[in-house]
Homo-oligomer: A and B are copies of this chain.
Amino acid sequence: MFDFHIETGSVTTPKGFLAGAVASGLKAQGLDLALVYSMIPAQAAAIFTVNKVQAAPVILSRNHVANGQARAVIINAGCANACTGDQGMADAQETAAITAKVLGVAPQEILVASTGVIGRPLQMDKLRRAIPEVNRQLSPQGGEEAARAIMTTDTVAKHFSVTFALAGVEVHIGAMAKGSGMINPNMATMLCAITTDAAISAAGLDSALRTAVNQTLNRLTVDGEMSTNDTVFILANGAAGNPRIESEGAPLQQFTAALTQICLALTRAIAADGEGASKLFIVEVTGARDEEQAHQAAKAIANSALVKTAIFGRDPNWGRVVQAAGACGVEMDANRMSVDFAGMAVVRKGQPVPFDAEAMRTALSAKEVQAQMDLAVGAATTRVYSCDLTYDYIKINADYTT
């Protein structure tokens, strides 16, 4: 319906946004503190982790974004500020207060996010020094550095932009995200900050964000783990000067489609950069009883350690796809199901189909591998984005806190 060209811009591609990054010392080396700032008041919306244990910045930001307004997002890597008790909440509040002071806005206009090790206190002495510094770094070209500053075990910075016309006016969306482990649908996410210069109502923005994330970032799974800190923020400052997008109608549909495309680009980039990943693994489930069951089956296949190691090892062991789907509890017809593995038919109507194992090994060598399964009990479909499980996942995670 809509076709958008996704480019490698950033959160400073939209008009009226500045960003900056510094090395605060929370990480042993490199940039670890990012600030994104709207020069004019902005509408804001957010989606947070549904983990029962929520980090202090998640609790604080949910409160701050409740009125649909924000001016800035401050994100630190190196420490999740999760399971840090009362001190953790005080630290998140102080982070917002210092940021508000240097920007000359109210603390309630600051959204805070943290990523890193759980259970360790935030080193506030470092942040007290670094927040005024990152404020001095703010610039209209700062988006890429900000995207680098929020990385933890990521190997590449993830930032995209899209430009399109709304009622003849050019508008932009820019985004950055981090996350390559502890990633699972429903808040799949990790940390993600999105900016747009589109003028849009608070209700329209919230609706667009939920629709886009549900189709993309919530269909991402690296390791079946859901973080205490996952957050997606979006700020819309209206600097483009388009007629305001309301909570329904064609402009909202177009904006939502563009936002979905940029979130899909982030989703694919995060999956492909999953901890230790050597390839992107996409699972498509069809013929499910309902959307929830489709999602459950696709997630079970994508999260299966046995399927993921087979993808890594280019092992034509498609039986693991069937085993994972069968074990997850969704309705399926074992006598009518169909399975494709790496683009080749392996099961039709419940019966195994002969295939060329060598050709499958070659297909499994691609940078992107797909598995399709038809459960043969309904019409619901879904697609999830994941990666393989490799030696490097073990290496990265067996010794992360040190």
Q: Are B327 and A184 in contact (CB under 8 A)?
A: yes
Q: Are B312 and A398 in contact (CB under 8 A)?
A: yes
Among A11-19, A135-143, A235-243, A388-396, the stretch that binds chain B is: A388-396
CB distance from A82 to the nearest CB of B (A): 7
Q: Are A322 and B393 in contact (CB under 8 A)?
A: no
Residue tally, chain A, CB below 8 Å to B: 66
Residues from chain B with Cβ under 8 Å of A309 in the complex: 393-394, 397-398
Residue of chain B at shortest CB distance from A390: B394
CB distance from A391 to the nearest CB of B (A): 5
Residues from chain B with Cβ under 8 Å of A225 in the complex: 304-306, 320, 323-324, 327
Residues from chain B with Cβ under 8 Å of A325 in the complex: 52-53
Q: Are A326 and B399 in contact (CB under 8 A)?
A: no
Q: Are A224 and B305 in contact (CB under 8 A)?
A: yes
Among A124-132, A251-259, A260-268, A343-351, the stretch that binds chain B is: A343-351
Take A82-B319, A394-B391 as given contacts and tell me if A306 and B223 are in contact as well, using a CB distance cutoff of 8 Å: yes
Residues from chain B with Cβ under 8 Å of A305 in the complex: 223-225, 305, 389, 393, 397
A313: Cβ under 8 A from any B Cβ: yes
Give A26-53 as 1s and 0s: 1 = Cβ < 8 Å from B's Cβ atoms. Answer: 0000000000000000000000000111
Closest 4 CB pairs of A and B: A118-B319, A313-B398, A53-B326, A226-B327
